Chains A and B, each alone.
Chain A
């Protein structure tokens, strides 16, 4: 065998990996922010009465959730330009991830909206709030608290899905790991360090989000 572990090349390129991690986190963050907006809008449509918009929302959610994310990414990057929509790598990746996250979050928010007691909306109507005011100051704040645990796990899996950006050569963590791997053939070292970076980041993210959940929890 005679394979001796030598982490030197990985440490030498550690700043590349960290830079990649930064981009991964950034991509996940921007995508989830846009995704939350899309998801919120779609969730209201899903809970609304049957209409064309409601039907469109149902189709959107079913189509995106049942299609592999890799195909969505490749489709936006390689196929949309044929229809005249030209996005650069980052834009097209963020666009795809936001659409993807939106579909998952729509389901999350839909469930959370159903968890908001009906009486609260009626109470809002009784004191003369408009529909929009009720949404803004009653329904959405309570719904967000209900949705927070599922929102955090969506964010963490979105962070892991940013690894797919490597397939369209966005220079994030997996992209650099592959690069270091191909240039140095330090296979075990590169991939084990990369795995550890991902796991550590996920653990930290999970802990931070749990802290946020506890902060925002409804006091009982």
Chain B
């Protein structure tokens, strides 16, 4: 029992790396799927016909009003009951992607609303279809607007991925908890685990600032 923290850390390095990989995989999947769905949600919120707009409004408000932990637990338990058999990983990623999509939806709506109506009208006047308008007129401007909040959401998702440990997905936090259960070294392992998350999120934040600067220059 008198092993030092560094010895234990070295012994458990592969396990921690696997957990780290899992965390990155979960986050990446949730962010990609959530962004894809979220763009459509945002479009529906801004340009949808009234029933569609209402539907997407209810969707975003409902998801945003529910804690992520409850979403994860609900997705894990409910889907199994109604016959959709997902394992913990799939159910967790689904919950995170849904959570992500509602936030992205709001961000996209906010970004689209800053674009002047005249531009959509002008696009319509020169005969662009809606998908062409979106692709060539709205998206380039909205993407620039939404970039900072999008990066924030990505960091949010990485942090929220820790909650998957509750339903037994072996991501970074759960692997650390397993090591702690074995060694009782809760202080150094929770600390180092937190520090790894800090590094990931700090990296995302820096990357976001960099991309933002790049995008800003290209407009001038």
Contact = CB atoms under 8 A, between A and B. Distances in A.
Pair from one complex: yes
Contacts of A187: 77-78, 80-81
B70 A177 contact: yes
Interface string A198-220: 11001100000000000000000
Contacts of A67: 159, 194, 197-198, 201
B194 A72 contact: yes
A83 interface: yes
B78 A188 contact: yes
B86 interface: no
Contact of A174 (B73, B162, B187): B73
Contact of A71 (B61, B62, B197, B202): B197
A71 B65 contact: no
A203 B67 CA distance: 13
A3 to B, nearest CB: 6
A188 B180 CA distance: 34
A195 interface: yes
B73 A178 contact: yes
A3 B82 CA distance: 8
A203 B80 CA distance: 29
Interface residues of A, number: 40
Nearest to A186: B81
Interface size class on chain B is 35 or more
Interface string A152-173: 0000000011111011000000
Given A83-B187, A188-B81, A188-B82, A68 B67 contact: no
A126 interface: no
A150 interface: no
Nearest to B58: A199
Contact of A78 (B69, B186, B194): B186
A79 interface: yes
Contact of B162 (A3, A71, A203): A71
B74 interface: yes
A195 B99 CA distance: 13
Interface in A100-116: none
Contacts of A198: 65-67, 70
A9 to B, nearest CB: 14
A79 B70 contact: no
Interface of B: 61-62, 64-71, 73-74, 77-78, 80-83, 155, 158-163, 165-166, 173, 177, 180, 186-187, 190-191, 193-194, 197-198, 201-202, 205
Interface of A: 1, 3, 62-63, 65-72, 74-75, 78-80, 82-83, 160-164, 166-167, 174, 177-178, 181, 187-188, 191-192, 194-195, 198-199, 202-203
